[in-house]
Amino acid sequence: MERAVPYSASTGVLLSDYLAHRATISRAPGPLILSDSRRNHAQPLSLWTWSNVVPGFALFSGAERFSTHSPAPMSD
């Protein structure tokens, strides 16, 4: 199943920059967001990180309605 997610031009620029950075971390297929830390370098974000750090980004950005959804991979 293919999913399409609309986003703005400015988000496209940020995504492009991140994808270029991600390629320096790992070129392996898999999760989009990888850790850049020394401890978990090139590993997917842990459930703890997803549940505790990502919502902090939303608060910092001023996002009023934010959900982390589910970190579980989608299945067909």
Q: Residue 76's pLDDT band (boundaries 50, 70, 90)?
A: very low
| Dihedral sign computed on CA atoms, order 11, 61, 56, 58 | negative
> DSSP character for 65?
S
Judged against a pLDDT cut of 50, whether residue 75 lies above it is answered with no
- pTM score over 0.85: no
Q: What is the pLDDT of residue 71?
A: 52
Q: Which domain holds residue 59?
A: 34-63
H/E element, 13: helix 9-25
Q: Check pLDDT > 60 for residue 23.
A: yes
* Residue 41 domain flag: yes
Query: Is 13 a domain residue?
Result: no
Tally the domains of the chain.
1
Instruction: Specify the higher pLDDT residue, 22 or 5.
Output: 22
Q: Is the pLDDT of residue 54 over 50?
A: yes
Residue reference for tokens 């842990």: 46
Mean pLDDT (the chain, rounded): 86
> How crowded is residue 71: how many other Cβ atoms within 10 Å of its Cβ?
15
Instruction: Answer yes or no: is 19 within a domain.
Output: no
